[in-house]
Amino acid sequence: MGKKIKFLVSSALTVGALGAAASETILYLLSNKNGDPNITRFDAEESDLDKAIERVREEDHEWLLSQELTHYYTTSSDGLKLHATYLPAAVASKRFALCIHGYRCNGTKEFDSISRFYHEEGVNCFMIDHRAHGESEGKYITYGVKESEDCIGWLKFMRREFGEDIQIILHGVSMGAATVMLMSGKLLPNNVVFAVSDCGYSTLKDQLYHNFKQSHLPPVVAYQLYRQTAKLHAGFDPDECNPIEGVENSNIPILFAHGEDDQFVPFDMVYANFDACPSPVKQLVTVPGAKHAQAFQADDKLRNAIIDMMDRLL
């Protein structure tokens, strides 16, 4: 008991010492409506590759917004209005990609270049906005816990809207990849043919420990403060956000990808995720020189792997 009291006293003093920095970081992590976005920027100085990728993505984003897009809405199980943007394939097709974006982004921004690729490859793109992102309602980010349930709702919506015979690729980036991994361990409609998991974290706890260290915050205390705040305000327990456990129970083929220079989600996590996947059809793509969420744009390896999976499975 004495050790426990000492730990609690020490934690309280540390949290007090952290003050505004800890409070602002935790508020930022939980809510997409508050906070300074510079808090979680950890990548190195912008390189020539970064600049080239940004130029291409800006052009592709302009291209995407110039297309004939359709907007869809549904309601989450807890009453939030959710939004998605639909880009049809260049030719009529029953192939669809449910495009699941990352932390503090939105569907069309995350999938600017990727949607153009799918469009040209004859795949319809259904780009969702997570709760608390883009045009969807909500305040709190749950890192895939509630988002994975929302996306399963979107799968049902797509079957109703486009037909029960459609073929669906799940494509997630960063938090979207974690969402895909969580989904992969759930009962999915047989329309889901395979998944792409690009730079997803294995567990939220390990991910946040990594980011707290980058923010020069003591990870044990900062995480406990974050966990209690998440449970109280956002209605989820970060300890239970373990995408790797979803992968362990997956029965769909998964293509795992990660940039080797990722400073935000630790690169080694992709090996843990890949090794945990029991699917007889799985693939691993790592991209040298690619930072966080750059694997698709930095090299042709990932797009070629997606084409290979489509040729084999669709």
Given this model, what pLDDT does residue 295 score?
Answer: 98
Q: Does the structural domain 46-203+241-313 have CATH classification 3.30.420.40?
A: no
The model's pLDDT over 123-136, given as tens digits with 9 standing for 90+, comes to 999 999 999 999 99
Q: Do 74 and 126 contact (CB within 8 A), yes or no?
A: no
Task: For residue 215, give the nearest of 10, 55, 38, 35 by alpha carbon.
Answer: 38
Given this model, what pLDDT does residue 163 score?
Answer: 98
Taking the model in full, what pTM does it have? 0.91
Give the confidence band of 195 by pLDDT, cuts at 50, 70, 90.
very high
Domain boundaries, the chain: 1-30+206-236, 46-203+241-313
For 305, how many CA atoms within 13 A lie in the half-sphere containing its CB? Answer: 25
Cβ burial 210-234 (10 Å sphere, 16+ → b, else e): bbbeebebbbebbbebbbebbeeeb
H/E segment holding residue 72: strand 70-75
Give the confidence band of 22 by pLDDT, cuts at 50, 70, 90.
low
The model's pLDDT over 93-109, given as tens digits with 9 standing for 90+, comes to 999 999 999 999 999 99
Q: DSSP labels for 6-62?
A: HHHHHHHHHHHHHHHHHHHHHHHHHBTTSS-GGGG----S--HHHHHHHHHHHHHHH
The model's pLDDT over 277-309, given as tens digits with 9 standing for 90+, comes to 999 999 999 999 999 999 999 999 999 999 999
Tallying the residues shown for the chain, one arrives at: 314
Please report, as a single letter, which amino acid is at residue 106: N
Q: Which residues contact 48 (CB under 8 A, 6 or more apart)?
A: none
